[in-house]
């Protein structure tokens, strides 16, 4: 591999030397005869001046073309060939214009050479374009390079795990950090590489300001170039997070690859700083051929922040419908391993520990329900603020009114048994949730679900039919609604059954994967044309 890289480098150097020598020989007569004037006065001097620049342009493009010929995208190659052809044609026309200058005649040898160069350039461009189309016909499976900034397993990563696993033979994933996500991808048979992001750049989160963002530029540029090199052997780059878009967008452009951006966040205050919001929208509008939003709320926030509506399509997360659920004995043993009494009413809250996820709201509500126990599934995954919040939650859980009733289960890769042992699943985000996978997981487990009335959560649950919605951050209302479910088992059972039916119909993984694959294929076929998703959006609406 190293020998190959060395050979390519030497070949490029030799080529550049040859091209420079050719350029010198081609331009020498013009320069040597002192016919070239950089500030032309007479008509004939303008012609020489143009002649010089056409030659220079043609040689420059020829150089770039030859350079690209060593292992990069053929589409750049074909465009460069066509450009060389056009420049040479202009040169020929210039040669003809010279006949109108008194005392000047057409140099027939120059003319024929120019015409030949023009035909060869344009023909090579068209042939390489045709060969390229033959290599990636519309019905071939596009090769996709997925990018994700984290090695941890958040909701966006679990969705990507499902997408990439289903097309493992035609995909590769690049992560900017190592972690359990890489292990999960590899055990699903997905080729995964870690291109580590420098510490400066890693420290920049979605709330970062200008000075912190500027300090990480060198690390970002380095990563971008490495991704651009990797992207050259793929048909589509698929950015799964905001940082993946900001770094992967320019990289995909450099590699001549179209890009799909999967937007899992609500682009608004509370989730992003103003600067990061602008940067994300700029990158999405400039580099993404298609944007997949995980809910209508996510799409609406994207558009109202300046994102292009015509490129954005809503596709919810998909879920594998579990065929086997926990037995009564499994549930019993899990309860006792957590130290929960057999007759206790269990409230499950699943998801990473972060202030905006609202675990503190549930603990506050729990104070009004002396017999209930809460299980908090998940950990602080991403930032120091989250870790600090987790510490404060432990303090809150230790107050006498809650002592022994709050069980921190930590991050679990197997979540099903926890949903199965719950009496109710609560989602309490204080900011609008972009999607809310845990809500659908609760529905699939046939549990009554209570969620905050905002964002994607309010789209998933139909109030009083498939679940109950409460005002975000209102612990009193949450306590009242939990009490209502505890005292009315029939209502709880009806809500749970309606929810399970709806979840089966709407969020089956194979249907969601098919929609995402349609966007990928359409993007791969449309190459760099903008707005390719309009048709797909229509198809998806039709299918729905
Ligand atoms: N989850 C998990 N293990 C845990 C806690 C949560 O695998 O210990 C999963 C949970 O089942 C859900 C995802 O993490 O699939 C969280 O997704 P959600 O959309 O609720 O929140 P996000 O992390 O995307 O903000």
Specify if 48 maps to a domain. yes
Question: At a CB cut-off of 8 Å and minimum separation 6, what does 56 contact?
Answer: 23, 27
In this structure, the answer to whether residues 280 and 364 fall within a common structural domain is: no
In this structure, the answer to whether residues 359 and 497 fall within a common structural domain is: yes
Specify if 436 maps to a domain. yes
∠ CA 181-144-504, rounded to 5°: 65
Most ligand 1 atoms within 8 A of CB, residue of 270, 349, 352, 414 to mutate? 352
In this structure, the answer to whether residues 299 and 339 fall within a common structural domain is: no
d(CA 16, ligand 1 centre) in Å: 53
In this structure, the answer to whether residues 77 and 206 fall within a common structural domain is: no
Give the C-alpha separation, 307 to 302, whole Å.
5
Ligand 1 atom with the shortest distance to the CA of 435: 19
Number of folded domains that form the chain = 3
Q: Could you tell me if 223 and 249 are in contact, meaning their C-beta atoms sit under 8 angstroms apart? A: no
Among residues 87, 107, 135, the one where a domain terminates is 135
Give the C-alpha separation, 366 to 44, whole Å.
90
Instruction: Please give the residue range of the domain that contains residue 94.
Output: 2-135
In this structure, the answer to whether residues 477 and 348 fall within a common structural domain is: yes
Most ligand 1 atoms within 8 A of CB, residue of 438, 442, 444 to mutate? 438
438 lines ligand 1 (CB under 6 A): yes
In this structure, the answer to whether residues 75 and 105 fall within a common structural domain is: yes
Question: At a CB cut-off of 8 Å and minimum separation 6, what does 309 contact?
Answer: 299, 303
pLDDT tens over the chain, length 544 residues: 455 556 666 666 666 676 676 666 665 555 555 555 555 566 666 666 677 677 777 777 776 666 655 545 556 666 777 777 777 777 777 777 777 777 767 777 677 777 777 777 777 767 766 666 544 555 689 999 999 999 999 999 999 999 999 999 999 999 999 999 999 999 999 999 999 877 666 666 655 556 666 677 777 888 999 999 999 999 999 999 999 999 999 999 989 899 999 999 999 887 788 888 999 999 999 999 999 999 999 999 999 999 999 999 999 999 999 888 889 999 999 999 999 998 899 999 999 999 999 999 999 999 999 989 999 999 997 788 999 999 999 999 999 999 999 999 999 999 999 999 999 999 999 999 999 999 999 999 999 999 999 999 999 999 999 999 999 999 999 999 999 999 999 999 999 999 999 999 999 999 999 999 999 999 998 654 444 444 444 444 444 3
Can you spell out the DSSP letters for 20-86? HHHHHHHHHHHHHTT---SS--SHHHHHHHHHHHHHHHHHHHHHHHHHHTTTS-HHHHHHHHHHHHH
Question: CATH number for the domain including 524?
Answer: 3.40.50.2000
In this structure, the answer to whether residues 275 and 405 fall within a common structural domain is: no
CA 188 to chain centre: 20
Instruction: Give which of 315, 326, 241, 325 is closest to 507, Cα–Cα.
Output: 315
Specify if 323 maps to a domain. no
Q: Could you tell me if 316 and 295 are in contact, meaning their C-beta atoms sit under 8 angstroms apart? A: yes
In this structure, the answer to whether residues 472 and 406 fall within a common structural domain is: yes
Q: Provide the pLDDT for residue 155.
A: 95
Can you spell out the DSSP letters for 420-485? HH-SEEE---SS--S--HHHHHHHHTT--EEEESSHHHHHH--BTTTBEEE-TT-HHHHHHHHHHH
As to burial, measured by CB atoms within 10 angstroms (0-12 exposed, 13-18 middle, 19+ buried), residue 251 is buried
Q: Name the residue with tokens 């309490």.
A: 428
In this structure, the answer to whether residues 112 and 188 fall within a common structural domain is: no
In this structure, the answer to whether residues 67 and 7 fall within a common structural domain is: yes
Ligand 1 atom with the shortest distance to the CA of 317: 19
Q: Could you tell me if 245 and 261 are in contact, meaning their C-beta atoms sit under 8 angstroms apart? A: yes
In this structure, the answer to whether residues 502 and 515 fall within a common structural domain is: no
| Tokens representing residue 157 in the block | 């990563």
411 lines ligand 1 (CB under 6 A): yes
In this structure, the answer to whether residues 110 and 151 fall within a common structural domain is: no
């Amino acid at each position: 591999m190293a020998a190959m890289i060395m050979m390519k480098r030497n070949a490029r150097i030799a080529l550049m030397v040859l091209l420079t020598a050719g350029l010198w020989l081609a331009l020498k007569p013009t320069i040597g005869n002192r016919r070239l004037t950089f500030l032309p006065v007479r008509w004939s001097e303008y012609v020489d001046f143009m002649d010089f620049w056409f030659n220079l342009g043609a040689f420059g493009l020829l150089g770039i073309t030859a350079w690209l010929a060593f292992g990069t995208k053929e589409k750049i190659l074909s465009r460069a060939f066509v450009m060389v052809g056009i420049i040479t044609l202009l040169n020929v026309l210039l040669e003809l214009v010279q006949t109108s200058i008194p005392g000047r005649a057409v140099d027939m040898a120059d003319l024929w050479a120019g015409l030949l160069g023009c035909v060869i350039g344009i023909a090579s461009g068209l042939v390489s374009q045709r060969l390229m189309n033959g290599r990636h016909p519309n019905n071939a499976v596009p090769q996709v390079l997925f990018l994700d900034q984290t090695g941890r397993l958040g909701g966006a990563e679990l969705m990507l795990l499902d997408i990439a696993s289903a097309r493992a033979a035609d995909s590769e994933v690049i992560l900017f950090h190592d972690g359990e996500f890489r292990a999960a991808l590899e055990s699903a048979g997905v080729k995964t590489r870690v291109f580590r992001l420098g510490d400066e750049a890693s420290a920049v989160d979605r709330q970062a300001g200008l000075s912190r963002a500027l300090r990480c530029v060198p690390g970002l540029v380095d990563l971008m170039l490495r991704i651009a090199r990797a992207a050259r052997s793929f048909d589509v780059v698929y950015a799964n997070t905001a940082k993946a878009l900001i770094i992967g967008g320019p990289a995909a452009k450099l590699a001549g690859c179209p890009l799909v951006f999967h937007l899992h966040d609500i682009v608004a205050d509370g989730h992003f700083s103003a600067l990061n919001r602008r940067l994300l929208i700029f990158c999405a509008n400039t580099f993404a051929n298609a944007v997949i939003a995980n809910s209508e709320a996510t799409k609406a926030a994207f558009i109202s922040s300046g994102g292009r509506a015509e490129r954005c399509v809503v596709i919810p997360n998909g879920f594998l419908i579990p065929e086997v659920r926990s037995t009564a004995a499994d549930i019993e043993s899990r309860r006792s391993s957590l130290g929960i009494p057999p007759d206790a009413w269990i409230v499950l809250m699943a998801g990473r520990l972060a202030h905006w996820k609202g675990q503190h709201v549930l603990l506050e509500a729990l104070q009004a329900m002396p017999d209930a126990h809460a299980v908090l599934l998940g950990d602080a995954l991403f930032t120091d603020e989250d870790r600090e919040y987790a510490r404060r939650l432990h303090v809150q859980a230790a107050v006498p009114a809650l002592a022994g009733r709050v069980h921190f289960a930590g991050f679990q890769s197997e979540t099903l048994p926890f949903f199965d042992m719950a009496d109710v699943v609560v989602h309490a985000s204080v900011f609008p949730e972009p999607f809310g996978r845990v809500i659908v997981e609760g529905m699939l487990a046939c549990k009554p679900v209570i969620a905050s009335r905002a964002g994607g959560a309010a789209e998933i649950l139909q109030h009083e039919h498939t679940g109950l919605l409460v005002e975000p951050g209102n612990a009193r209302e949450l306590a009242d609604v939990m009490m209502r479910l505890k005292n009315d088992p029939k209502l709880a059972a009806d809500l749970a059954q309606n929810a399970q039916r709806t979840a089966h119909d709407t969020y089956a993984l194979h249907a969601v994967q098919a929609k995402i694959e349609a966007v990928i294929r359409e993007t791969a076929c449309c190459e760099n044309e903008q707005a390719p998703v309009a048709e797909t959006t229509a198809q998806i609406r039709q299918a729905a």
